[in-house]
Amino acid sequence: MKIRYLLLAGVFLLAGLPVSCGEAKGTAVQPQDPAPPKTKKVTINGAPVFLIDDSSYAEYPGGSPKKGTLASDTLIDTGISTTLDTGAMKVQLAGGKEAGFYPDKTLNWGYLAEKTQVYGYNLRAERIEFYPGGKVMNAYLEKGAQICGYSPVDDYPVFFHESGSLKLILPKHNLKTGGIEFQSNTMVSFYDSGAPARGILAKDTEIDGLILKGGTALMLYPDGTIMMGTLAKPAAVKNKKFAAGDEIKFDLLGQTEK
């Protein structure tokens, strides 16, 4: 009985003790840096390039790299002169972003790591694409920049011919060229010579004696004659009658067809 009372007294004494909130003693575990990703070494434009060995990596059937994520910022020499006064263009591509390659192990596309100048125009650090021969196919101009006097929409690339002349643009404002005004925010394409090739007319326009309807597509031959358009008013062409709204087409010999 005496033992029972002693045990109960011990329980009550323990119940009255304060709870300790002190720090646990021991050695803190230091966080470790993650292991670097595994990489694949490939040859692009004749130089070594390191790609992350993950699901982004793909190959062509023959085994050459098709695309992959660059392990770090990578300088690639395109071997192509892009201005009249400089040598071959070198592009610094952003690490951690994908790049694509042609089957012959040359650069197809990637993302610029820094501002770059091409054909005298400043490009911002965005996606850039190349022709198989290494010349720039399309890229993003620096915001607010113009090309051939035209202002492109900021979030759409401009396209170049292999010669470096403007091929395709999405203009921020109506685009006027050769006496023709094309609608803003619609694609306008050009021949290598700089002559307009295709666009959407901003308003009714007279070309070769025909009144073509604004808001419709116009296609031109390199010499500026009509390839295809939509009539705003009735017309007679070489003994053929056309009504307003008719789409009219001309072949290379100037013969018409609806």
pLDDT of residue 81: 60
177 in the same domain as 142 = no
At 6 the pLDDT is: 41
Q: Domain range spanning residue 48?
A: 37-154
Mean pLDDT of the chain: 87
Give the model's pLDDT for residue 202.
98
Q: Which pLDDT value is given to residue 41?
A: 96
Which pair of structure tokens corresponds to residue 199?
A: 């666009």
Instruction: Indicate whether 44 and 142 sit together in one domain.
Output: yes
DSSP 3-state assignment of 15?
helix
User: Residues 142, 47: one domain?
Assistant: yes
pLDDT tens per residue, range 160-171: 999 889 999 999
Stronger pLDDT, 188 or 45, i.e. the higher one: 188
Instruction: Please check whether residues 62 and 147 belong to one and the same domain.
Output: yes
Strand ranges for 45-195 from DSSP E = 47-52, 58-59, 65-69, 74-81, 88-93, 98-101, 107-111, 116-118, 121-130, 136-141, 158-160, 166-169, 175-177, 180-182, 188-190
Note the pTM of the prediction, 2 decimals. Answer: 0.81
Residue 83's pLDDT is what? 52
What is the Cα–Cα distance from 192 to 163, expressed in whole angstroms?
A: 7
Q: What is the pLDDT of residue 79?
A: 74
117-146 confidence digits (pLDDT tens): 888 899 999 999 999 988 999 999 999 999
Checking if the pLDDT of 19 tops 80, the result is no
Tell how far CA 212 is from the center of its chain: 33
Q: Residue 109 and residue 101: Cα distance in Å, rounded?
A: 7
Residue 187: the pLDDT is 98
- Residue 232 within a domain: yes
Confidence category of residue 31, pLDDT binned at 50, 70, 90: low
Statement: residue 9 has pLDDT above 60: no
Cα separation, 92 vs 73, in Å, equals 7
Domain tally, the chain = 2
pLDDT at 53 > cutoff 70: yes
- Do 179 and 226 belong to one domain? yes
Which of the listed residues 121, 154, 187 is the one where a domain comes to its end?
A: 154
The residue among 119, 154, 189 that closes a domain is: 154
